[in-house]
Each structure stands twice: as structure tokens, then as C-alpha cells.
Amino acid sequence: MVMSPQGEKHFSQRIGLLRAMVLGANDGIISTACLILGVAAADATGHAILVAGTAGLVAGAASMAIGEYVSVSSQRDSEQSDIAKEKWELEHTPDIELAELAGIYRKKGLPQALAQEVAVELTKHDALKTHLAEELGIHEATRARPVQASVGSAGSFAVGAAIPLVAVALLSEAMRFAGTIAIVVLTLVALGISSSKYGGAKPARPVLRVVIGGLVAIAVTMVVGKLFGAAVA
């Protein structure tokens, strides 16, 4: 739990990592479950199902890591460009920047004299930090962190993908479909509850979103697998 200097709890400060981990785990569970159940629906052998699932886990985790790193790196590059521009403006046009800051506080409802005073004092304290937050909405707690996002996304994908894979490996052929789907649904419910708790939101809506989306994806994949299996039989 991240605390503000005043001791208040805030969840937005970990939104980047939360997003990456929830996305990774959700993708891992659903994509791997869809893959192995789709292959199973095509009447594949148990060995073929496990090989397909393992390959999907490795490929998916690598893809998530690379994709998340590239995406968040692009965001970081944009932030760094804005920061460099703001530094230049503060160094070369400080009066204009001060006037902009005072204008921001006037728009927020402060009287002109007070807005000017606040702008002057905050500029003395930390001009760059103040301008980044007020002008650009860039805060240190929510800055782009590519490595953190990449590792969190890949790790959570692998953990999520392992759940249906282990279920298929342990369940008998007669219980393969029903048992795996039941385990996937329970896992998605747990994911929705934990992510909502971690993010400070009520759990009902996140749970419904992730469970319904997962079941729809699994159903579509199994239908395709069944049709493909029948076509090549």
C-alpha cells in the first residue's frame, strides 16, 4: 500500500504495474485455456495438448514482455521529450512559465494575487516538478517504467497460463473440459477480486467482465476446434 505524505492511501500510484499484471494474468489464463481446449476439441492426444499449451505459455510470456517493454518505452520517450522541453523553457523563458503556472491556478479558482503567490513559491521550491505536474500531468509515482511493466506482464502471464495447463495435465480425459473450465472460471473470479482490491475498486464489475469475456473466448475457440477437427477427420 502506497501512502501519501499525509498518511492517506492512494491506488493510482501503482496503476502502471497493476495494469500490466492484470493484463498479463488475464491473457495467460484465457489464451492458454482457449488454446488447449480448442486443441482438445479437435480430438488431439493428451501429449499434443500439453505441447501446444506449453508452447503457448512460452510464446505468450515472451510476446507480452517484449510488447509491454516497447509500448511503455514509447511512453517513457514521450515523457522524457516533454521533460527536456520543459527544462529548456524554465531555463530560457522563466517569466512566461511563471505566468502559465499562475494562470493554471487562476483557472482552478484561486484569486489572481494568491495564484501568483502560489506559483512563485512553488517555483522556488521545485520549478520543474511543479510544472510537470500542473502543465503536463507527469508525476513521479506514475512515470512510465518499461522494465517493471515488462517483467510484471510476462511473469503474470506465465503464472496465469500455468493454471489451465496444469489442470489439463492432471485431470482425466473425461473431466478435461468441464474440470478445466471450472478451474479457469474460479481463477478468473479470484483475479477479478484481487485486482479490484489491489486497485481500490468494488469487485462485482471487474469479476463479471473477466469471467464473461473468458467464457465467450473459450466457447468460440472450442467451437472452432470442434469444426476443424470434424473437417479433417
- How does pLDDT run across 173-190, given as a tens digit for each residue? 888 888 988 999 999 888
* Residue 45, helix vs strand vs coil: coil
Tell me the domain boundaries of the chain. Answer: 12-232
- Please tell me which residue, 130 or 203, carries the higher pLDDT value: 130
pTM over 0.85: no
pLDDT mean across residues, the chain? 82
pLDDT in tens, 90-144: 889 988 988 888 898 899 888 889 988 888 998 888 888 888 888 877 777 677 7
pLDDT in tens, 146-160: 888 888 889 989 999
Q: How far apart are CA 186 and CA 203, in angstroms?
A: 14
pLDDT in tens, 75-104: 889 888 988 998 898 889 988 988 888 898
Q: How far apart are CA 180 and CA 168, in angstroms?
A: 6
Q: Which residues partner with 3 through β-bridges?
A: 9
Residue 9 sits at φ, ψ, to 5 deg, of: -85, 130
Q: Which helix (H) or strand (E) holds 65?
A: helix 46-92
Question: What residue type is assigned to position 197 of the chain?
Answer: K
